Structure 1
Amino acid sequence: MSVEFRVLGPLEVLLDSEPVSVPAGRGRVLLATLLLRPNQFVSVDELVERLWDGEPPTVDRAHKTLQTTVLRLRQALGAANRVRTTPGGYLCEVRPDELDLLRFRALVKAGDFASAAELWRGPALANVVSDALHRDDVPRLEAERLDALERRIDADLERGGASDIVAELIELTREHPLRERFWAQRMTALYRSGRQAEAFESYREITTLLADELGVDPSPELRELHLALLNGEVGGSQRKALCQLPPDTAGFVGRAELLCKVEEKLAAPGVPVVVLSGAPGVGKSAFTIKAAHRLRDRFPDGQLFARLNGASGDPRDPVEVLAELLVALDVHASAVPDGLEARSAAFRAQLADRRMLVVLDDAAGSDQVRPLLPGTEGCAVLISSRQQLVQVDGAQSLRVPPLGEDDGIALLSSVLGAERAGTDKAAVAAIVRACGGLPLALRVAGARLAARESLPLSSLARRLSDERHRLDELTMGDLEIRATFGPSYEALPADAATAFRRLGLLGATDVASWTVGVLAGGDGERLVERLVEANLLDEVGLDVTGEPRYRLHDLLAVYAAELVRAEDEQVVAEAMRAYVHLLLTVVEVAAEAWTGGDELPLVPIAPSTALDRAEIERLADNGEGLLVSEMVNIERAIMYCLRKNWVSDAANLVDRAFLFLDVYYSHDRVLQLRELLREAAFADGKDLIAWRSHLDHVAQRITRGVTEELLAELARCAEAFEAMDAQAELAAALGSLTYYTMVLTGQPQVALAERAVVAGRASGVRNLRTSTLRELGTMLATEKRYAEATRVLDEALAISREANAPWNEIALLLSRIASSALAQGDLDRARSASREALDLTTKLDDTRGIAYCTTQAAQVDLALGDPGHALTGAEKALSAFEGLGERRGAVRAVAVVAEATLALGLYGKVIDVATAALENYADTGDADAEERLRVALAEARRRA
């Protein structure tokens, strides 16, 4: 049996798709009132007011008439009846799929505005006669409809469908002549459809209309659009606005004056920065989110949001936050630079010429905030923090004060319900005074009362009047919080209670519903719904993949952690094993795009069966987004595994996740995690894992420059792998040792390369066989044994092409072939190989690979007698390397810059460039690049 209720149009009820007759008059008013507050208590007094639309007769008669109306409505609905009696009132109990209003709001939240708009069948509740409903409720519904319609039209314009919606927009501006957003969309659609004259005429029409009707000018946004049209700056598509704000704060009361101050300060010229500070529990975050939503129209290019966890004792590294924000701004993973300064500069560049609001919640201090600030006018920053952050240049601080008594009573009443709060107004006022107007304390008190409906308000007021125990009653920082959270937790069904406890294993971090499901061994979506309904889990919006995220409040997380510690250790360990296994499986699928190249083969894992394979692939479809969304949880899972001595699980997770995520963490954090894994593996007797981790540790360090110390560590790795007869690992270590020894010393290492080839063949791993052949070919070419080098490199390329190897592997081989050909003067082969390598890395959108291949192509151009083209390419590559913090690549690019500049006869510039480079890049350990710089410098000095 299916039931459907409809309020987005004439009131309708369907039972198994057949209409159910709803009694006209008060019966429809009653049902409509309850449906507009689905699953919420509506008091008898409010219903009486609605049913009479004015002053009812005697109270006794009104209540009896209401009871009769409810009875008749239930009888008419029959099997479709969802009206339930509660103490002092009624509610209509409906599932999200049974009421079109709930489906509409869910679609809007998911961003499917077209489907949401299609649910409307006409004016809301058109067949319900009630002045109160059409005065108080229907306008709000209509506002929601128009907002969804505007967003749907924005999406149509974004997709290039301007000409298809012109007629609709003309009709909408007739129906809503003073709604300026429709006029802006109409002007945009007309302009993009080639109807410029009509677009300008539309602006004149709304200008006249506003002047005649309201005596005002068009809004700044409409005037700016008009100017953009005049300047031809509105093209066929626009950059999509981004909103990362959490849902608007529910149950917010008061603070109107403070909201006005925030708006005023954020309207200042330049890049205004407003810091909202105040005591713990005063509601800084709630107020910040409320203010940000009110300001959305001022920042049409979007609103960025980041939690900085300043109050947690473990504030987020701004390097990680910047990576997250850059991905949200559609920066490709390979283009995210390494290092704080580079990422901060990239972030500022992304915000240039945009009007965006950056919201930073719970900042720890000035050093954490400074790298996250925009640099150009048009943007603004709103920060919440326990500190005033006076060290942030230009920041204006506003203190968020406690609520006054009237606002405090309103907040507590909104938690309790107006009817219950009205039973003892003196007690409510006493509780507000005892709480000092702190919203968190009021919500704690309200939650305790709401969880125990039989508890008299005067009882809590009396306990709070005793100053000796007031903090015990209201504290949120120790185990006394059990008295507040206990009733809510105990009221949960067993499976939802398990889910709540198990979330304590992860702490206060954002999670998806599948995480909740695997930890509790149940349906994650349903469990999340129960916890959200019980106010024990917060919705925090969508991640970059579009997946909803949820979070335990910090104090609830502490409470849940205490509860889970009381569970059977073995049972909890099995739940965490299942979670780690599923996380590992999802990460493996998400990271598939980055496998290949010189990586060691991953240790195979048995895929998790906690979710269907199709669901796992859906979650991992946006590989970058999934990995970035889960990066905090991945790191926590790795640390949990290490604490529990689950070394193999930790290693498998590190090996897969860090194929991609190593560029998102700070360099030092990557090294630290590798070190922790290495030491745990040694302690557990897992030597192969330990040495593999050490090899990866060295590989990370060597990106900053080659040293004798690092070469010695590579040699130690090779010795260890040889002793264990680990041929794959031996091949990788020897290949790296071969290449980097030549880089540092400038001397070819043929013997080492031949040992690597033997190990590569013995390993049976194709990519290690080709990579070791590549290094051997490179060494032979350096020794000027070109015929042998050509044979070896061609063999490696043939193996890779036949196996349809990843493009990055083939590109690296082609690059080495180009280098060998260039050294022996075969310029046609060098040009062909270098161009194909550059094409492949460009298709991959691999910023680092593109820079290396561009450097090599510039060398070939120089050899072909085109120094101007070579200089342009080398300078482009140098800029990319500097942005990435890739010093080894930078010194190679600057060597080509010096050589091309020398060929152009600009001797003074060569002297400046080469002198500076030899000093700045002395620690990179690239002997060949340094020698080329010295030769160029000497020649320039001689000629000058």
Structure 2
Amino acid sequence: MQFRLLGALEVIADGHRIDPGGTRQQIVLATLLLNVGRVVSIDQLIEAVYDDPPVTARVQVQICISNLRKLFAAYGHPDAILTRTHGYVLQVDEQRIDARVFESHLSRARRARAGHDLDEAIRHYREALALWRGPALDGMRSRLVQLTANELNEHRIAVNEECVDLELELGRHHELIGELSRLVKAYPLRERLLGQLMLALYRCGRQVEALQVYRDARQMMVDELGIEPHERLQQLEYLILTSAEDLERPVQAAPRRPPDTAKPPAMVPAAIADFTGRDEQVALIREKLTAPPAGTARFAVPVVAIVGRAGIGKTTLAVHCAHEVAELFPDGQLFAGLHGGTPNPAGPAKVLERFLRVLGVPGHDIPDTLEERAEMYRTLLAERRVLVVLDDVSGEHQVLPLLPGSRQAAVIITSRTRLGGLPGAFHLGLDALDSARSVQLISQIAGEDRVQADPTSSASLAELCEGLPLALRIAGSRLAARPHWDIRQLVSRLEDEARRLDELKHGTMGIRANLSLIYDGLGEPARRLFRLLATLNSHILPTWAAAAALDQPVPVVQDLLDELADTHFIEAADSGLGVRTNYRFHDLVRVFAKERLAAEEPPAERAAALERMLHTQLVLTTRAQQHEFGFTELPLPRTGWRPPLSDDLIDQLVASPLEWFERERRVLVAGIHQAMQAGFAELCWRLTAMSTKFFEARAYLDDWRETHRLALEAARQAQDRLGQAMMLFKIGTLSVTEQRFSDARHALEEAAEIFADLRDDRGRAMADSRLAILDRLSGRFDDAAERFDRALTVFGGDDGSVSADSVYILFSKTKLYLDCGRPDESHHLLSEVLEFTRSSGDRRMRAQVMFRLGETHFSKQEFAAGEEAYAEALSAVREIGDRMGEAFILLGLGTARFQQGEPEVARDLLQQARELARTTRQHLVETQAVTVLGELALAGGDVAQAHSLLDQAARFFAEMELPLLEAQARVLLRQAYMTTGDHAAAEAEESRVQQLIEQIDPQPAQRIRERLAQAQQPGR
């Protein structure tokens, strides 16, 4: 049997073409033939056959294998396909596969060429090219197969170019013009083919036609790519134009002469004409190449390693710097691309062979071993000032044999990873271009007028390209090739994330192709982690999330994260160390990761990975709440899966809970969104519930509101009654915090009703405790006391004893005691609560208790003790970053200073409280501060200011339906009107106060009447 891949797939048996089966079977056979002798996994075969695998994909592939075995057996090869642990391996004679025969002829051709037998080399080249019948695996509808087929097609044209080079050397230009014309038509942008056709035409005396080939090609490159032909093609055009003698070649076969060693090698590619920015880096590289690094031996060779992610412009910078310092290295420049980011990097032995030839060593004198070649190379460079540029290095093993032996020479390296094993090397990390330089690069490629005409869109385009020079160059080239586009048009196309990588492609340049090379060079575990990290819709990627995604221990995952970080697929996002390290994707890389996720991971695997990450996030948030507040509101849901994190590691991660929350808040919010979108309703509302106290402690009210709205919707869609009740309770608590009291009462009453239906006494009690706060604020003290007592009965705290469940209710009740004029009872209860906060470690609750204790002391005229309690509370809230708590305490301090007769100090504290309350949207605290400032202005004789402030406060309290606080403000406002003699306005205020008194309980109503009576007395 013979197998033909260099064209449409054909199987030949006994001299006749046979049917290899249907489409799926042909794809499976082609995949096995392309990997002959190697194990092909069944997952790889499934990926080759299907873009969107059905549930029967594995069975269908196995049927194809069975049918192929029958086909092979029918022609005497029953054991051609062997089963292995993870897949199958095809074992046939490789010389029966035309693609392998092609490689054999190519190897013989190159050996003959190295031995200067050009006729023999050309014979083998032509025999290799004759095997082709069309594009490799033509018509094969498989993305995976076509990737390899495209490589074969590219290889074919490169071999054709090699062959033509030799035939031109032998003077066979007359025979080549027809073939070269066809090739140039098929590949109009391949400059090597263009140069060969121009040279053949010129040698045939057709100078005008040779020049026309160049002009047509140049016009196409300028129109479609916005770039000029390479310098080598421009030089050839000049030589043809001037009929240079250098273009003549002998017409008989002759051994090639070794390179002229008198002429220094100049292998560095042409400099980029529109090189932009990097001035500081260029100056630094020049300095490092010419001055020995501090702390290194004076005879050490200078080595600069330019490190950065794909597309950041490492090669461009290296080439630019090589030209910048060329005059310092008069003995030449050597350049080699080591393709470190690809599956097939260049070995140092092969690079040394090339360098030695360029340095004048005949092929037959080049040693066989790497060590001997390196020794010869160092000897040749010992007395020469040569610059060596090594591009795209993957590791030290590629570089070390290529380093010169003395500091007469210097080396520039580019790499995606830091090469820590190169002693004395200076590592220069390359970042993206800033906005101004990004726009400048676009301007130089697309045209300054277009950029200046729409600076806003130009800035947006730079941002979408992330300051990545490759992306910017592609965008600029697309604009240059399409003068009828405006910049906004390209921005709109790039804003569609699903198409962004498709849009960032022009000619041979492409972000996806660049990233694919790196991706293909990773090991499969790292590739899988890279894909699964894209499951999390967050720019922040914690180490624990990676462990959960793979369901692997953290040490295993950290090695894979390092592998991804080394390639700059991810990068550290903060200063966290070890297991606390967070990573992030760049936007373009994240788009690519999502593409690979959709293409390579089945939906069930994606969902399972997301569920593992969300469950781990819930475990961490629960433990963080336990550490910070001394209790957890909800137990973890029962599940058969446990996160791959030990208890010690979890404690280590959340050892500083508030810092942990600040670092991972965005991940938490994103997780709640995803849980809702993915239908994980219970995980969604539980995560949300466990986050509430953190949102409250740091005043992230927008996050609090948005996440709870989503979680409530998720619970309703899932008809999860407990989840609905919990979210309504938390939303009611938020509404109390934001002083939306009507909304709060509605949510809390609905939550209480659902808790009652579920016979959840604990939940009902917590809802009652929040409703009691609303009753107190409204002046309904009896209702508030009844609710507090009913709630405490549920938790066994009606006798004043304190537990984790009752502590908040008891604390809230102390404020009711103060409002009722019972400070001794408040003080007694606070002593019990304070003892509990000491044992629980809840720093925020302790600060609140100390604040309330300060209020209690001041109400008892114990000013020194009150000041001490306030000071401790203020220190505590500032330590934990509780800005809402700080606003409360500043209000209390300002009020106390006013009562102690220190108006200036009081005014300053109250202004601070007002401003801080405004920024944290504590409108009730803000307006209470305004009320006291109005009273302070009234006492100081600034009646106009007092009137303005007190009127503002009264209107707010009326809008919020808080009759007690409104009445207190209007008593003061009446006094201001009396002071100015406006008795009609004063009577109107008194009438309004009397109406408000009817809405509140008798006890607070009596206190309002007393204040009103005092205000009517002369001099008050």
Residue 773 (structure 1) aligned with residue 806 (structure 2):
no
Structure 1 residues 265 and 811: alpha-carbon distance in aligned structure 2, compared to 1, 3 A threshold: farther
1:56 aligned onto 2:132: no
| Partner in structure 2 of residue 336 of structure 1 | none
SS of 1:766 mapped into structure 2 = coil
Q: 1:894 aligns with which of 913, 927, 930?
A: 930
Superposed CA deviations along residues 370-415 of structure 1, whole A, max 9, x for unmatched, are xxxxxxxxxxxxxx9x9xxxxxxxxxxxx9553879xxxxxxxxxx
After superposition, the Cα gap between the structure-2 partners of 1:51 and 1:646, relative to the gap in structure 1 and judged at 3 Å, is same
Summarize the Cα distance change of 1:812–1:617 in structure 2 as closer, same or farther, 3 Å threshold: closer
Q: 1:66 to 1:892 in 2, by over 3 A?
A: farther
1:649 aligns to 2:687 (yes or no): no
Tell me the residue number matched to 2:644.
Answer: 610
1:895 CA drift (Å)? 1.5
Corresponding residue for residue 72 of structure 1:
372
The one of 436, 440, 461 aligned to 2:505: 440
For residues 529 and 571 of structure 2, the distance between their equivalents in structure 1, rounded to whole angstroms, comes to 18
Between the aligned partners of 2:746 and 2:630, the Cα distance in structure 1 is 26
Give the equivalent residue in structure 1 for 2:728.
694
Distance 2:947 2:870 in 1: 29
Q: 1:703, 1:887 within 8 Å by CA — same for their partners in 2?
A: no
Helix, strand or coil for the counterpart of 2:645? coil
Equivalent residues in 2 for 1:327-476 (5 A)? 400=476, 402=478, 440-442=505-507
1:562 aligns with 2:598: yes
Aligned residues of 1:738 and 1:753 also touching (Cα < 8 A):
yes
Letter in 1 for 2:785: V
> In structure 2, what residue type is equivalent to 1:730?
R
User: Is the Cα–Cα contact under 8 Å of residues 875 and 893 in structure 1 kept in the other structure?
Assistant: yes
Q: Are residues 1:752 and 2:787 paired?
A: yes
Q: Is the 8 A contact 2:550 2:609 kept in 1?
A: yes
Pick the aligned partner of 1:735 from 756, 769, 784: 769
Q: Tell me the equivalent position of 2:114.
A: none
Q: Which amino acid aligns with 2:848?
A: L
Q: 1:856 to 1:863 in 2, by over 3 A?
A: same
- The residue type equivalent to 1:760 in the other structure is F
- In the TM superposition, 1:464-543 aligns within 5 A as 493-506=523-536, 509-512=539-542, 514-522=544-552, 523-528=556-561, 538-543=569-574
C-alpha separation between the residues in 1 aligned to 2:686 and 2:502? Answer: 50
Contact 1:744 1:925 in 2 (8 A): yes
Within 5 A, what are the aligned runs for 1:7-406?
41=346, 47=352, 56-57=359-360, 61-68=361-368, 70-72=370-372, 128-129=405-406, 131-133=408-410, 258=443, 275=456, 277=458, 285-286=464-465, 288=467, 400=476, 402=478
Task: Decide whether aligned partners of structure 1 residues 874 and 736 sit closer, same or farther in structure 2, where only a CA change above 3 A counts.
Answer: same
Amino acid paired to 2:673: M
Please name the residue that 2:610 is paired with: 576
Aligned AA (1:691): A
Following TM superposition, by how much is the alpha carbon of 1:784 offset from its aligned partner in structure 2, in angstroms? 3.2
Query: Structure 1 pair 655/905, CA: closer, same or farther in 2 (3 Å)?
Result: same
Cα distance, 1:891 vs structure 2: 0.9
For 1:879, the equivalent position in structure 2 comes to 915
In structure 1, the residue matched to 2:306 is none
TM-score w.r.t. structure 2 length? 0.49
SS of the residue 2:616 aligns to: helix
Q: For 2:528 and 2:766, how far apart are their aligned partners in 1?
A: 46
For 2:713 and 2:411, the matched residues in 1 are separated by 69
1:619–1:548: structure 2 CA closer, same or farther, 3 Å change rule?
farther
Q: How does 1:921-936 map to 2 (within 5 A)?
A: 922-936=958-972
Structure-2 change in CA distance of 1:931 and 1:516 (3 Å): same
Please give the alpha-carbon distance, in whole angstroms, between the structure 1 residues aligned to 2:521 and 2:501: 29
When residues 616 and 798 of structure 1 are mapped into structure 2, their CA distance, relative to the original with a 3 A threshold, is closer
Cα distance in 2 for residues equivalent to 1:263 and 1:817: 68
SS in 1 for 2:359: coil
Q: Which amino acid aligns with 2:943?
A: Y
Change over 3 Å in CA distance of 1:906–1:446 after alignment to 2: closer
The question of whether the paired residues in 2 share the 8 Å contact of 1:283 and 1:438 is answered with no
Q: Provide the residue aligned with 1:858 in structure 2.
A: 894
Deviation at 1:777, TM superposition (A): 3.2
What residue is the counterpart of 1:794 in the other structure? 831
- How far the C-alpha of 1:699 sits from its partner, in A, is 1.5
| Residues in 1 aligned to 2:502 and 2:808: alpha-carbon distance in whole angstroms | 67
Going from structure 1 to structure 2, the CA distance change for 1:520 and 1:248 (only over 3 Å counts) comes to: farther
**Which among 711, 726, 734 is matched to residue 760 of structure 2?**
726
The answer to whether the 8 A contact 2:445-2:476 is kept is: no
Contact 2:537 2:674 (C-alpha < 8 Å) held by counterparts: no
- Aligned partner of 2:219 in structure 1 is none
The higher relative CO (CA closer than 8 Å, separation ≥ 6) is in 1
- Structure 2 distance, partners of 1:783, 1:716, is 29
3-state DSSP of counterpart to 1:548? strand
Q: String of CA shifts for 1:240-263, please: whole Å, max 9, x gaps.
A: xxx9x96569xx999658479999
CA distance in 1 between counterparts of 2:837 and 2:698 reads 30
CA contact (8 A) 1:702 1:710 kept: yes
Alpha-carbon deviation of 1:854?
1.3
Go from structure 1 to structure 2 and tell me whether the alpha carbon gap of 1:863 and 1:91 turns closer, same or farther (over 3 Å shift): closer
Assess if the C-alpha contact under 8 Å between 2:540 and 2:573 holds in 1: no
Q: Is 1:549–2:584 an aligned residue pair?
A: yes
Please give the alpha-carbon distance, in whole angstroms, between the structure 2 residues aligned to 1:645 and 1:826.
56
1:196-239 CA distance string (max 9 Å, x none): xxxxxxxxxxxxxxxxxxxxxxxxxxxxxxxxxxxxxxxxxxxx
> Are the structure 2 counterparts of residues 895 and 49 from structure 1 closer, same or farther at C-alpha, using a change threshold of 3 Å?
same
Question: CA 1:34 to 1:72, structure 2 compared with 1: closer, same or farther past 3 Å?
Answer: farther
1:283 and 1:440 in contact (8 A); partners too? no
Deviations 1:256-289 (A, max 9, x none): 58479999999x9xxxx9645389xx87644735
Tell me the distance in 2 between the aligned counterparts of 1:147 and 1:911.
73
3-state secondary structure, aligned to 1:694: helix
Deviations 1:749-781 (A, max 9, x none): 222221122123269982332222233333233
Counterpart residue type for residue 70 of structure 1: L
Distance 1:278 1:438, change over 3 A: farther
Q: Which runs of 5+ in 2 are unaligned?
A: 1-294, 302-330, 378-388, 482-499, 981-1020
Partner of 2:993 in structure 1?
A: none
Determine the C-alpha separation between the residues in 2 that align with 1:895 and 1:514: 49
Q: Residues 844 and 924 from structure 1, CA distance in 2 versus in 1: closer, same or farther, beyond 3 angstroms?
A: farther
Distance 1:875 1:489, change over 3 A: closer
The amino acid across from 1:651 in the alignment is W
- RMSD over aligned CA atoms reads 5.5
Cα distance in 2 for residues equivalent to 1:922 and 1:257: 58
Query: Does residue 840 in structure 1 map to residue 873 in structure 2?
Result: no
Question: In structure 2, what is the Cα distance between the partners aligned to 1:265 and 1:930?
Answer: 61
2:279 corresponds in structure 1 to: none
Distance 1:403 1:786, change over 3 A: closer
What one-letter code is carried by the residue in structure 2 that aligns with 1:402? R
In structure 2, give the amino acid aligned to 1:288: G
Shift in Å at residue 623 of structure 1?
5.0
Alignment of 1:704-715 (within 5 A): 704-715=738-749
Cα 1:491/1:854, change in 2 over 3 Å: closer
Same amino acid, percent of matched pairs = 15
Q: Amino acid of the residue matched to residue 511 of structure 1?
A: L
Instruction: Name the aligned partner's letter for residue 359 of structure 2.
Output: P
Change (3 A) 1:35 1:443: closer
C-alpha contact (below 8 Å) 1:743/1:925 kept by paired residues: no
Shift of 1:855: 0.6
| 1:675–1:33 CA distance, 2 compared to 1 (3 A) | same
Find the counterpart in structure 2 of residue 917 from structure 1: 953
What is the number of residues matched between the two proteins?
603
Counterpart residue number, 2:668: 634
- Structure-1 residue corresponding to 2:83: none
